[in-house]
Amino acid sequence: MGGRRLSDRGGRAGLNRRPSPEYRLVTSQGGLADLLVILGAQPRIAVDTEFHREKTYFPKVALVQVAWEGGLVLIDPLEVDLAPLADLLESDVVVVMHAAGQDLEVFDRVCGTAPRHLFDTQVAAGFTGLSSPSLSTLHERELGFHLPKGDRLTDWLARPLTASQLEYAASDVAHLLEIHDRLVRRLGDDGRLAWAEQECREMLVREHGRRNPDDAWQRIKEARQLRGPARDVARSVAAWRERRAAQVDIPVRHVLPDLGLVAVAQRAPKE
């Protein structure tokens, strides 16, 4: 689940921790092939990723976590080509994820595709009255225990990974199917399950086009407030910035900061 959510971890007084999840590492192409046979026979799987993108435009995947009824694996993408995961993602298997936006970008980057059937627990929880809950919050509310805390500055690309890093990563998916069960049951009872499923489908469409350079200006609050020619300039400069960042694989802010972009738009030459 990458660096962006490490700070979600926490815990309330009185909550317990469950025993550390059991997992195995997949570090060979043959091991991944054997795993895909198992996963392809499952009705659903829980999936998460750890990645870095602080110094790059594209996320660099460092670990993929997958759990199913009776098993949990951590796939090392520094040792294994993840491209074969594409067939699994495009199959009838339901892929349960939490706050999947950036994870979807990871899979689009390394597999060229996204889950055909996605159930995002953060999206679904919104239909139960929670507004964008963290993964830790869902564990506390639904299962009554908190997740292990992690180091916000952990380097997931370093090898070997420590036991605490691996435990942290495994815990992200170890109980996600339990949460899926509870959310499906609650939403079904409330007549809202179809709404949540539709929103997950729409999320797939939105995320697929999220990096359209021509829409980049919409992610800049100050640019959205511009009007007339200034907005047109902001739109053009934001699109250029997005393409340039992708071309050299650096964060957009390293090409031109948001405030610099807005300043250019506001001071564009007059004809």
Looking at 168, 197, 207, 242, which residue is catalytic? 168
Is 168 a known active-site residue?
yes
Looking at 23, 48, 105, 207, which residue is catalytic? 48
Is 87 a known active-site residue?
no
Measured between alpha carbons, how far is 178 from 234 in angstroms, rounded to an integer? 45
**Residue among 239, 219, 230 nearest 262 (CA):** 230
CA-based R_g, the chain, Å: 20
Looking at 23, 50, 57, 108, which residue is catalytic? 50
Looking at 105, 140, 172, 207, which residue is catalytic? 172
Is 50 a known active-site residue?
yes
Measured between alpha carbons, how far is 200 from 270 in angstroms, rounded to an integer? 45
Q: Which residues contact 118 (CB under 8 A, 6 or more apart)?
A: 94, 95, 97, 100, 104, 200, 201, 203, 204
List of long-range contacts for 217-221, beta carbons under 8 Å, 24+ apart: 220/258, 220/261, 220/262
Positions annotated as catalytic residues are 48, 50, 103, 168, 172
